[in-house]
Amino acid sequence: MVSVPSPTHGAHSATAVEPPLPVKLVIAGGFGVGKTTAVGAISEIRPLTTEALITEVAAGVDDLTHTPGKTTTTVAMDFGVITIDPKLKLYLFGTPGQDRFGFMWDDVVEGALGGLVIVDTRRLDDCYAAVDYFEHKDVPFAVAINAFDGEVQHDLDEVRWALDISEHVPLIVFDARETRSVRDALLVVLDVALSRAQSAHPA
């Protein structure tokens, strides 16, 4: 008779691998700054997007001066997933950029550990709302300048002054099209959120 090993012996005795900790992060910013692009560049799954065609009416409301090739826009949210390491998995939620969809932000941001606010230095006025939102909600966040065509229109000190960003808020330059660049920006957000948590609950 063949003996069947007990479930507590052999391979089954190995410690079960714990699933990675799920962490929600939000990617926000004005219209056409690169939120959907950033989610698509980093997500390990096919991103879920709620893109709609820009109609003639919407084109009259949204400024397409710096994004003439843009034909769609996010009307609810973008969603993607990235596993940072075996212990940590990020669930990314991108907000719609237009003010008229601002009523959705509370639902998208609820439960988020932190946020990444993407800025287009050619249209700084479009970024005030996102910065103010995260400051008002007291959600840890970082500001990332999207280097369109590898260039930014202003240096970091000028952007920090123009957006009235607190010194404790990280301000970086990144490329929303590059996976590593997006990853590094998200790691900055995680670092800010962790620092906040440690300050609130010191060991």
Alpha carbon distance 141, 186 (integer Å): 10
The reply to whether 95 falls in a domain is: yes
Angle formed by the axes of helices 179-200 and 35-42, nearest 10°: 100
> Model confidence over 63-89: pLDDT tens digits?
545 444 444 444 457 889 999 889 999
Q: Which residues pair with 173 in a beta bridge?
A: 145
Among candidate residues 91, 95, 90, 65, the one with its CA nearest the CA of residue 78 = 95
* Contact of 122 with 162, CB cutoff 8 Å: no
Q: In the structure, how many helices (H) and strands (E) does the chain have?
A: 6, 7
The reply to whether 3 falls in a domain is: no
Among candidate residues 97, 50, 115, 118, the one with its CA nearest the CA of residue 78 = 50
The answer, yes or no, to whether residue 139 has pLDDT greater than 70, is yes
Alpha carbon distance 168, 142 (integer Å): 9
Helix (H, G, I), strand (E, B) or coil at 130: helix
The reply to whether 8 falls in a domain is: no
The reply to whether 23 falls in a domain is: yes
The reply to whether 61 falls in a domain is: no
Q: Which residues contact 171 (CB under 8 A, 6 or more apart)?
A: 142, 143, 145, 156, 159, 160, 165
- Mean pLDDT over 112-138 rounds to 91
Percentage of residues of the chain with pLDDT beyond 70 = 75
Higher pLDDT: 11 or 176? It is 176
Domain count, the chain: 1
pTM for the whole thing? Answer: 0.77
> Model confidence over 26-64: pLDDT tens digits?
999 988 889 989 999 999 998 887 654 434 434 444 454
The reply to whether 62 falls in a domain is: no
CATH code for position 81? 3.40.50.300
Q: Where are the alpha helices (DSSP H) in 54-139?
A: 56-61, 105-109, 128-137
Domain that holds residue 102: 19-54+70-198
